[in-house]
Amino acid sequence: MSLSLYTEEECEKIARQASLRYINDHHPGFSRKKCGKGFAYYDLDGQHIKKPKRLKRITNLAIPPAYKNVWISPFENSHLQATGIDKKGRKQYIYHPLWKKMRKKQKFDLMPAFGSLLPTIRDFIHKELNKSITINKLQIICAITYLLDKFSVRIGNPLYSKENQSFGITTLRKKHLSLDEKQVALDFKGKNSKMWHILLKNKKMIRLLKKCNELPGYELFKYLDETNKLHVISSQDVNGFLHALTQKPFTAKDFRTWAASREFFMGIIQTLIKNKSITQNQMTEIIKQVAKKLGHTPNICQKSYLHPHILLYYQNERLHDWINRNQEILADLKKNHDEIFLHWLQTK
């Protein structure tokens, strides 16, 4: 989840929960200067840091040598430990391990709320897309969110697209769109060189995309403001929309996390119902299939996108108990998988 969607008060609360001190790099910090083949570090008074304990802490941060304008927190227990500018001019952040652990926990703790609000999000999008096509900001954001939800594609980042020639929804160009009377297709290379082929038969989406294609410029998702000036939709626009609609700090990435966890959960449930147990090879294959669908490596998929309780509950056989208690809802596995997964999140 994007930190920008949390207020400073909320960030401070998360830091306290992790027994950390909330700080940003506007606070005075230690600095780093080139010294021979390595670096020297200086404290708040500009004095050369020589104490072994303090130097060890800084060394353990593993700040890349290429970073410039390095700022290092003077506090060992601060949520933010260091910042720097990488060789591509991007600001990078190094966080305390406890902060990263707490943020990951927060992400999965919010998953039941996300699942509960999915119908609200989808109903709102459906209503907006069924209105007359005006190419306004909200309508284009809803079209993008529809694609995020239905196809679990990445939101996109302009700088990443420029550097890697790979795309997400907000960075798609007209060349990625193929038009037909009855359907449209989006074909593009995403992160990790995954080739995406998205086929759309929704009539409203087809008409909207055709209108988008008629607008000047090579970007696909643009909107007209009140003065008929064109603007490109950004990930910040989409995240702001989700925050305003749900009053929760959800972002575009939550659709992918939800989809990955749901597919992983259903893969395990379906295998358990059929075979009563799962071999290591079967578990590996389930993770591989989820990773393939979302364009991840299996390792990244398991580490960052799968709700940790799914595997934990399987290993301690609590999933088996849950299946036995919920035979009625599992009687038809072709029914809405979102509902089944949400039911598990709420009753586990």
Determine the angle formed by the axes of helices 203-214 and 111-129, rounding to 10 degrees: 70
Q: What pLDDT, on the 0 to 100 scale, is given for residue 199?
A: 96
Domain ranges for the chain: 3-100, 116-246, 253-347
Cross-strand partners of 219: 173
Q: What pLDDT, on the 0 to 100 scale, is given for residue 80?
A: 95
Rounded to 5 degrees, φ, ψ at 98 are -70, -35
- Place domain 116-246 in its CATH homologous superfamily: Topoisomerase I; Chain A, domain 3 (3.90.15.10)
> Judging by beta carbons within 10 Å of its beta carbon (0-12, 13-18, 19+), is residue 327 exposed, middle or buried?
exposed
Q: What pLDDT, on the 0 to 100 scale, is given for residue 107?
A: 85
Cα(174)–Cα(211) distance, rounded to whole angstroms?
11
**Alpha carbon separation from 284 to 30, 108, 241, 315 (Å, rounded):** 45, 22, 36, 14
Mind giving me the DSSP string for 37-78?
A: TEEEEE-TTSPBP--HHHHHHHHHT---TT-EEEEE-S-TTB
Reported as half-sphere exposure (CB side, CA atoms, 13 A), residue 335 has a value of 11
Continuous segment of H or E residues that includes residue 189: strand 184-189
For residue 155, give the nearest of 234, 243, 248, 249 by alpha carbon: 234
Q: Token match 């769109």: residue?
A: 177
Q: Which residues of the chain have pLDDT under 70?
A: 1-7
Q: What pLDDT, on the 0 to 100 scale, is given for residue 63?
A: 96
The count of other CB atoms within 10 Å of the CB of residue 218 is 9
Cα(85)–Cα(54) distance, rounded to whole angstroms?
23
Q: Token match 């990435």: residue?
A: 253
pLDDT digit string, tens, across residues 292-334: 999 989 999 999 999 999 999 999 999 999 999 998 888 877 7
Please tell me the pTM assigned to this model: 0.81
Q: Is 137 helix (H, G, I), strand (E, B) or coil?
A: helix
* Contact in structure between 173 and 166 (CB atoms under 8 Å): no
Cross-strand partners of 72: 30, 82
Q: What pLDDT, on the 0 to 100 scale, is given for residue 5?
A: 54
Lay out the sheet containing 38-42: strands in order across.
Answer: 38-42, 30-35, 68-72, 80-85, 91-95
Cross-strand partners of 179: 184
pLDDT digit string, tens, across residues 167-184: 999 999 999 999 987 889
CATH topology (fold) of 3-100: Viral Topoisomerase I (3.30.66)
Cross-strand partners of 160: none
Looking at residue 182, the DSSP 8-state letter turns out to be S
Cα(265)–Cα(308) distance, rounded to whole angstroms?
11
